[in-house]
């Protein structure tokens, strides 16, 4: 998504956009609906401050039960566009140097980075997900398994006779 810098008005403004699923390509991430993007822009004389929020629905696999489910996701990002001081160019993180001849800026890399950095490490379909049985692999959310509950690992069987004196 590109923002036309010369079309921005001085002061605060909000831009909303919907991004097609095909427009965001991130490895191992599947979006189930179009992404919503909200940009809050504050344009001053020498700086443009952009605060963005991207909302999406992801198709993920539960880390406990391995079922595919839809998860709502939101990520925030911020960047500052600044006119270079005395012709000196700089690009440090989220501060980007702009010149008077620049007409637009592509914010796609910042949207992509915000999504990747804010993905949860562990994804669970619901808080009370029971997961899979460690012995037979039955999904315990759907049915109970026939495994013995107190089955002891044979490697620890000899400790059963051990008692403290």
All structural domains of the chain with their residue ranges? 2-129
Q: Nearest-CA neighbor of 16 among 47, 55, 48?
A: 55
Sequential pLDDT tens for the chain (165 residues): 788 887 888 889 998 988 888 878 888 888 888 999 999 999 888 888 999 999 999 999 999 999 999 999 899 999 888 875 544 444 455 677 777 777 888 888 888 889 999 988 899 999 999 999 888 888 988 988 887 666 677 788 788 777 665
Half-sphere exposure of residue 22: CA atoms within 13 angstroms, side-chain side: 0
Q: Supply 142's token pair.
A: 């759907």
Per-residue tokens: 15: 């831009």
The dihedral sign for the CA sequence 21, 23, 26, 27: positive
Instruction: Please check whether residue 103 is in contact with residue 6, taking contact to mean a CB–CB distance below 8 angstroms.
Output: yes
The neighbour count for residue 91, using CB atoms within 10 Å, is 8
Residue 31: closest CA among 58, 61, 55: 58
- This prediction has a pTM of 0.71
For residue 115, the tally of other CB atoms under 10 A from its CB is 21
């Amino acid at each position: 998504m590109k923002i036309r810098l010369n079309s921005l008005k001085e002061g605060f403004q909000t831009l909303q956009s919907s991004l097609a699923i095909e427009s965001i390509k991130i490895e191992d991430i599947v979006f189930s609906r179009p992404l919503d993007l909200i940009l809050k822009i504050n344009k001053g004389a020498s700086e443009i401050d952009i605060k963005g929020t991207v909302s999406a629905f992801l198709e993920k696999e539960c880390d406990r039960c391995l079922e595919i489910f839809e998860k709502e996701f939101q990520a925030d990002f911020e960047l500052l566009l600044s006119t270079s001081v005395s012709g000196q160019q700089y690009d440090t993180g989220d501060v980007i140097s702009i010149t008077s001849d620049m007409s637009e800026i592509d914010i796609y890399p910042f949207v992509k980075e915000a999504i990747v950095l804010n993905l949860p490490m562990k994804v669970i379909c619901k808080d009370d997900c029971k997961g899979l049985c460690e012995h037979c692999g039955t999904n315990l959310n759907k049915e109970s398994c026939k495994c013995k509950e107190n089955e002891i690992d044979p490697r620890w069987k000899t400790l059963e006779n051990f008692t403290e004196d």
